[in-house]
């Protein structure tokens, strides 16, 4: 015997379009944050790799030196 409601042609009511749009916006925001975090992580890993390569070559003072711009 088949279960009641299974395959008898009854469909669920369509979702509210406003709710679906909100879900899509939230998912898009999550995706943007995820991509931004990945780009930041790749940049940080590249910086660390440069410092490690410098240290592996036996150099000293491999840290990044930030020089402020001169005021004119």
pLDDT of 19-70, one tens digit each? Answer: 888 999 999 999 999 999 999 999 999 999 998 898 898 888 887 778 888 8
* Residue range(s) defining the domain that contains residue 52: 19-57
Q: Domain for residue 12, yes or no?
A: no
C-alpha span between 48 and 71 (Å, rounded): 30
Q: Domain count for the chain, please give it.
A: 1
Whether residue 25 is contained in a domain is answered as yes
In a domain, 28, yes or no: yes
Please give the C-alpha separations between residue 30 and each of 14, 19, 38, 60, in angstroms, as whole numbers. Answer: 25, 17, 12, 42
Contacts for 64 with CB less than 8 Å, ≥ 6 apart: 47, 51
pLDDT bucket at 3, cuts 50 / 70 / 90: low
Please tell me the distance from the alpha carbon of residue 55 to that of residue 62, in angstroms, as a whole number.
Answer: 6
Backbone phi and psi for residue 55, each to the nearest 5 degrees, phi listed first: -70, -35
pLDDT tens string 34-46: 999 999 999 999 9
């Amino acid at each position: 015997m088949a279960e009641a409601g299974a395959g008898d042609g009854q469909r669920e009511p369509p979702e509210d379009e406003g709710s679906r749009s909100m879900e899509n916006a939230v998912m898009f925001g999550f995706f943007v944050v995820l991509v931004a975090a990945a780009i930041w992580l790749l940049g940080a890993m590249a910086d660390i790799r440069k410092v490690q390569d410098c240290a592996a070559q036996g150099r000293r003072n491999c840290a990044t030196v930030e020089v402020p711009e001169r005021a004119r």
